[in-house]
Structure 1
Amino acid sequence: MTFVKGTSGNPGGRPKVKLADGRTLTDLARDHTEKAVTALVAVLDSAEATDSARVSAATAILDRGWGRPRQDVGIEMKSDEAMASLLEAARKRAIEAKAVPELPAS
């Protein structure tokens, strides 16, 4: 199969899996949202639940109510003289390759 540039190979997206009654798994899960949240709150409030179970329930409730917290990805760039000179040489080549004659002023 040949791919055409700029055209999706799967324009309809992933096909939705339908249950026998025509609902999707998403529909089924959404039908049980209130019961699921109630169960999470019950675990959160339970004195018999382990600490880890209560933390998991609290995390699930907060994530669904407020969204997951942003995660910053720390990227540290270290440079040395050899790398700096290579980057400068590449920058100069890029400028020279794209150099075009100046257009006359109008």
Structure 2
Amino acid sequence: MSEATRRRKEVAEQALSEGVSPLDVMLTTMRTLWDQATDEAGKVVNLGKAMQANVVAKDAAPFLHPKLSSVDANVDLGGVTLNITPDDAEL
């Protein structure tokens, strides 16, 4: 583990032990802004607040929905080796 990774882990663990993580702050802020932006029926009545909530949601999204990364796969089928790249894959 690199020094930078170790330090980030320490900071994250300290924040969690104190009870409030950066993600907690972002989600609370997002929900508060969204509540201010919408009426009881869920209709947007304050576009500025809705746009602020959207910015916070965008910042929080990677913590909740991590990006998938593509990888090359080397597969050995009993003496026959296949190298499969994302360009070879059919979706």
TM-score, normalising length: structure 1: 0.33
Q: Which has the higher strand share?
A: 2
Larger radius of gyration: 1
Report which structure shows greater RCO (CA 8 Å, sep ≥6): 2
TM-score, normalising length: structure 2: 0.37
